[in-house]
Amino acid sequence: MYSLWSNYIYIHRELWHYSKKPFLFQALEIVSQVLTGFFGILLPAGILLFLEQSSGFSGFALGTLVLFLCYAVVFVSHTFLQSRNAWQYTEFRTGFFTRRLLCHFMQIDYAVLTEPKTLQLAEKAVGATCSNWVGVEGMFRYDVTIYSSFLGLILYAGLIGTVHPAIILLLLVLSVLQFLSYRRAASYEVRRRDDLSEIEVSQRYFQKQSYNTSAGKDIRLYQLNGWLDGVYRQLNKRYQKILFRIRSAYFANDLLTLTLQLLRDGICYGFLIYRLSHGTMTVSGFVLALGAVSGFSSYFNEITAALSKSVLCLEQIRWLREFFDLPFPAGHTLPFRPELAEEKPLEICFSHVSFSHPGGDKRILDDVSFTLHAGEHTALVGINGAGKSTIVKLICGLYQPTEGNITINGIPLGSLNPAQYYKAIAAVFQDPFALSFSIAENVSCSPLEETDRNRCREALIRAGLWEKIASLPQKEETYLGKDMADDGITLSGGEMQKLIMARALYKNCHLLLLDEPTAALDAISENKMYETYSTLLKNKTALFISHRLASTRFCDTILFLENGKIKECGTHDELIALGGSYAHMFEVQSQYYQETEEDI
């Protein structure tokens, strides 16, 4: 766990490496802010002083003019520096930390990313870079307040000390009491931050589903809006309840602060009036001392609030650092990473592989051993929850085995060059993912100017989507969704799966993993699609996953997975003759399809 001081050093060190100019301009802003406040109390006292000296109108006018000119220069300088520096902090937050956060989020270990505690930490880390007055940027903004208030306290303490040192002691005692009260309220807010983050994760999920156009049909058809709204309102009530308790803590602090301020003003102003009425203080000195007392208390209030807010910012920076500490996939930083031979089909070997989610006791896979032979097509079948998708994620390197080894052409998967390995494989998952860019860019996963148009069209033809794309005015340059272009289109579930298949074909990989990508298609379309893939992928290693057993009969080998174990292995005919779990499931599904055809 990082300390507040280490977080403070960290964030300023990062800014120093990013740019050294902000430190110079911040120092100038701090000085200008102190001088602006000082001239605010000096002006009326100075004018009275000129009148008391009876130096004539010309002397009075000249002195007043000089004061106003100095104040104008200081005020304009402060306004300029305040505006300029606000932008440099925002630029550092968005141009450096936000980008770094997004890049890290896209690279951290996938198994870690899917953990609930990681999502909560990510929510809190995002909060450190989402606004001007929190986290990274807030730290530098509060720095200005803290340092300028500290210098102002020294300046005004010197002025007050010329009146009577006891006043300084009184102000310090009352101000410390205010600080302790405010710190108590701020500490309570920090303690409840985890509760708020947990609710914010849920709120963000409901907001995402409400705005998700693909979920719109189900929400309307099944009248889910009332239910979702009810759950969202319950989350808001919990959120508001916590916020109310936080505000109540601050309200108690405000009451105590008001009482202490009344006590301070009563004593200090009474003493100054007493000195003035007995002729031991001039009117100009009275005004200056009055302004110094008020300014001292104001600065102490500002530094108290700023210090407490800075503590919150430092806590948020701690969350950001902890998020940056989340690991990259195993082997990501190995000094030596052997490369795969180009243009060679991949052979995948699982040797006594077991897998459990981090921190979990249940084994998703238990002592699994099999080989995907180079150039052969293998089917992985089994009921939902058997662990099929986990095997795909292990092959992709998204998960790391809890026990056992996975080798690619005899090389341990964890020691391979990740970039080259990912170029050699392609996966088509059940839930299609596409960006709000053009269709061509979604197929090539590259900028439009770097996309091979002929290769893109061939992939779309093979995936069975070109007829749809060719009918569009801009063809493959058509955007998906309305986020980036008003004339963007929305593909159906089946069309989206075909688009993702075209992406895999465009890649011309040596290993293709199909994790039930045809779930949105009917049985006939799925069978036809898989047979097409089988033809297109000759001499390439492929793993087909489907819950429809009839779609994988063409494969060289079928692996039947049950309860995290490979229960049966063989060809379709061999497993039917075996009369085991595969044969039973195939018989059940065959009856279902026959009944469906008879009903038609």
**HEC string of 518-561?**
CCCCCHHHHHHHHHHHHHHCCCCEEEEECCCHHHHCCCCEEEEE
Strand boundaries in 390-510, DSSP class E: 403-408, 411-412, 425-428
Residues in CB range of 469: below 8 A, 6 or more apart: 439, 460, 475, 476, 478
User: How many percent of the chain have pLDDT more than 90?
Assistant: 36
Q: Phi and psi dihedrals of 37, rounded to 5?
A: -65, -40
Asked if 143 and 286 sit in the same domain, the reply is yes
Q: Helix or strand or coil: residue 362?
A: coil
**Dihedral sign from CA coordinates of 220, 223, 226, 227:** negative
Instruction: At 105, list the tokens.
Output: 């989020």
Q: Is residue 489 in a domain?
A: no
Please determine, for residue 592, whether its predicted confidence score (pLDDT) is greater than 60.
no
Q: Model confidence at 26, in pLDDT bands (50, 70, 90)?
A: very high
Report how far apart, in Å, the C-alpha atoms of 419 and of each of 52, 275, 324, 335 are. 81, 80, 21, 14
DSSP state for residue 351 in the 8-state scheme = E
Q: Is residue 446 in a domain?
A: no
Asked if 99 and 42 sit in the same domain, the reply is yes
Q: What pLDDT, on the 0 to 100 scale, is given for residue 343? A: 67
Residue range 521-532, pLDDT digits in tens: 666 666 677 777
Average pLDDT estimate for 453-467: 91
Please determine, for residue 198, whether its predicted confidence score (pLDDT) is greater than 90.
no
Residue range 499-555, pLDDT digits in tens: 888 898 898 888 989 887 766 566 666 667 777 777 767 778 999 887 777 667 788
Q: Are 510 and 541 in contact (CB under 8 A)?
A: yes
Q: Is residue 462 in a domain?
A: no
Asked if 165 and 291 sit in the same domain, the reply is yes
Asked if 359 and 317 sit in the same domain, the reply is no
Instruction: At 304, list the tokens.
Output: 């108290």
Residue 64 identity (one-letter amino acid):
T
Q: Is residue 163 in a domain?
A: yes
Domain limits for position 26: 4-324
Report how far apart, in Å, the C-alpha atoms of 149 and of each of 176, 197, 412 are. 15, 32, 60
Instruction: At 463, list the tokens.
Output: 């995936």
Domain final residue, candidates 324, 356, 384:
324
- Tokens 């947990």 correspond to what residue? 198
In terms of Cα–Cα distance, which of 110, 158, 182, 161 is closest to 399?
110
**How far apart, in whole angstroms, are the C-alpha atoms of residue 165 and residue 144?**
28
Residue range 303-328, pLDDT digits in tens: 888 888 898 899 899 999 999 998 87
Asked if 141 and 264 sit in the same domain, the reply is yes
Asked if 389 and 304 sit in the same domain, the reply is no
Burial 405-439 (b: 16+ CB within 10 A, else e): ebbbbebebbebbbeebeebbbbbbeebebeebbb
**Rg, Å, the chain Cα set:** 35
Q: What pLDDT, on the 0 to 100 scale, is given for residue 82? A: 93
CATH of the domain at 59: 1.20.1560.10
Residues in CB range of 515: below 8 A, 6 or more apart: 388, 389, 392, 427, 428, 429, 430, 545
Residue range 28-43, pLDDT digits in tens: 999 999 999 999 889 8
Q: Is residue 444 in a domain?
A: no
Starting from the edge strand earliest in sequence, which strands make up the sheet with 411-412, in order?
365-372, 348-355, 403-408, 411-412
Average pLDDT estimate for 256-275: 88
Residues in CB range of 463: below 8 A, 6 or more apart: 498, 499, 501, 502, 505
Q: Model confidence at 599, in pLDDT bands (50, 70, 90)?
A: very low
Asked if 264 and 382 sit in the same domain, the reply is no
Q: Virtual CA dihedral for 565, 566, 572, 577, nearest 10 degrees? A: -90
Q: Is residue 267 in a domain?
A: yes
- The vertex-211 CA angle with 205 and 214, nearest 5°, equals 100
CATH of the domain at 514: 3.40.50.300
Residue range 360-380, pLDDT digits in tens: 778 999 999 999 999 899 999
Q: What is the number of structural domains in the chain?
A: 2
Domain final residue, candidates 271, 292, 324:
324
Asked if 420 and 287 sit in the same domain, the reply is no
Q: Is residue 476 in a domain?
A: no
Element (H, E) at 378: strand 377-381
**How far apart, in whole angstroms, are the C-alpha atoms of residue 29 and residue 35?**
10
Asked if 237 and 306 sit in the same domain, the reply is yes
Domain final residue, candidates 324, 358, 374:
324
Asked if 297 and 384 sit in the same domain, the reply is no
Q: What pLDDT, on the 0 to 100 scale, is given for residue 351? A: 95
Q: Helix or strand or coil: residue 570?
A: strand
Strand boundaries in 149-264, DSSP class E: none
Asked if 261 and 396 sit in the same domain, the reply is no
Residue range 138-185, pLDDT digits in tens: 999 999 999 999 999 899 988 888 888 888 888 888 888 888 888 888
Q: Are 498 and 521 in contact (CB under 8 A)?
A: no
Q: How many CB atoms lie within 10 A of CB 133?
A: 12
Q: How many alpha carbons lie under 13 Å from residue 116 in its C-beta half-sphere?
A: 8
Element (H, E) at 580: none
Asked if 193 and 68 sit in the same domain, the reply is yes
Q: How many CB atoms lie within 10 A of CB 245?
A: 12
Q: Are strands 377-381 and 557-562 parallel, antiparallel or unpaired?
A: parallel
Q: Is residue 426 in a domain?
A: yes
